[in-house]
Structure 1
């Protein structure tokens, strides 16, 4: 089983998600966990040994040019990368509009905040 965790920011929130990830890993060692995070916090997520793949988003940068060609190109690249992974489940650990939109890009069942 392959699971994507969507918790894009901020540093404290990302770190506070680690215990839940550790519990999940301990109870489900057969699950492969990936994470989608704001590019500035990718280094923090990389510290956790349970994370197989890190997908980065640049929402903070994208907000400055939401209609820019580069923004749409990067978002399309992210969508392709997430769909290529064929996730069995996406966990939206943030519960915000931005994380819901990212979770939707993966085209997998979503769990988390409704």
Structure 2
């Protein structure tokens, strides 16, 4: 996938899951790829949701699931210089923001 075209999003917003439900002959490649993507989420938190979604199909992956994993790789290629960069001189101070009123939703 070195010469693939980069993508601007980790996954399509409304991806159709029923286009090709052919199971993979050897799911070990898919499992290894998704496992590697899970480690990448430590420095690229923007792909966390997509990788978690794809990892739910580790038991019986199909060609569509492999295409989704490849889509994430294409996104990573386009955003290779974006992410959290840790150096040996980092103080690791972490600042966070929390929306205390749950975005104003009356039911939650």
Under a length normalisation based on structure 2, what TM-score does the superposition of the two structures give? Answer: 0.31
Larger helix percent: 1
Higher relative contact order by CA 8 Å / sep ≥ 6: 1 or 2? 2
Larger strand percent: 1
Under a length normalisation based on structure 1, what TM-score does the superposition of the two structures give? Answer: 0.30
